[in-house]
Structure 1
Amino acid sequence: MPVATADLYDELEEGIQSLSLQLRSFGRRSAFDGPIRTVRCFEDNALVKSVLATPGAGAVLVVDGAGSLATALMGDLIAASAVANGWAGVVINGAIRDRVAIDALDLGVKALGTNPRKSAKLGAGEVAVTLVIAGVVFRPGAHLYSDEDGILVER
């Protein structure tokens, strides 16, 4: 079971970043952690789908969708693929869809909200890049911790 983020912050205050962005929680895992992998995309989820179709080995995919709620960057089929491939969780600076189905999956998901509108499938964006979301740096390979209190990332 992952360590509580509040306790971890108290222990590692100087070596950890706290994400102030208020994300909603989805999926059956309310707490998850793992090494970070990243995707930057805008209203196009083709890269999200392709990355989550690869072995996750307990990693967490962080998706910077620029905060757009206009289209969903992940739905139930992509989330089910993440579960099948061993991902611990997905953090999306954007929207998801198929919330009820995702809530039934053994996956941790944090996102800004929901929108039933599907996204483009052109493959626009970048994979394995450093992201900065709300002042927090998400480097591929750094460790992310998430629970009901929020998200922490190694510096």
Structure 2
Amino acid sequence: MDDALAQAERIKPMVADVPRLLFEANKAGNNLLFEGAQGALLDVDHGTYPFVTSSNCVAGAAAPGSGVGPQMLHYVLGITKAYTTRVGSGPFPTELDDEVGKHLAKRGHEFGSTTGRPRRCGWFDAVALKRSIQINGVTGLCITK
């Protein structure tokens, strides 16, 4: 027990009531930025099940995930690539399993950030993007790479 209490003292300065801090920052007029990971079609509830992750990764999950009310999420910037990628199995209608796909993967440094597995690459998928925009309530869009 003494070891656990000693560890508690070490991490105590790193622990905060994050929902309260975010609420106070918002109330003071500060802008808040929430960043999500993965993609809408990997979301456990809205993705292409069973080829999903184990959590909610749509924009609406930022509120319960951080402990703020949904009224604080007033602008949703969707980020997408000019081409499509996927790690692992699952549907991929625009996949390029040829030299073009390999070129995109190499040029774009497309490897999974956790596993290091090469990402599958394909053409831009406007249908998937439209669905993601609907699910996330996207206000603005940024196209990268």
Which structure shows the higher helix fraction?
2
Which structure shows the higher strand fraction?
1
Report if TM-score (shorter chain) is over 0.5.
Answer: no
Q: TM-score range by the shorter chain?
A: under 0.3
TM-score (norm 2): 0.25
Q: Whose radius of gyration is greater, 1 or 2?
A: 2
TM-score (norm 1): 0.24
